[in-house]
Amino acid sequence: MTDQPLKPCPFCGSVPEIESSLTRIDFGRRLRIECIECGSAGPAVRVNMARRNNDARAIDEWNKRA
């Protein structure tokens, strides 16, 4: 897990919890942050098993958009 903070959702303003918002899609091959409040999702990143910062990359993508 990462301690990188999530920015508030650009649509509803709530701050998603990383633990409950980190969502695997495409049979676990991709990862993204989803807002529990309004259901909006950040851009998905491809999970790379050789790298350990997949969570941080998904969070980065969310924060870039927020």
Enumerate binding residues for Zn ion (CB under 5 A): 9, 11-12, 35, 37-38, 40
Residue 13 or 29 with smaller CB distance to Zn ion: 13
Output the smallest distance, CB 39 to Zn ion, in A.
Answer: 7
CA distance 32 to 30: 7
Residue 13 or 48 with smaller CB distance to Zn ion: 13
Neighbours of 3 (CB within 10 A): 6
Output the smallest distance, CB 11 to Zn ion, in A.
Answer: 5
Output the smallest distance, CB 16 to Zn ion, in A.
Answer: 7
- Check: CB of residue 6 under 8 Å from CB of residue 21: yes
Which DSSP category does 8 fall into? P
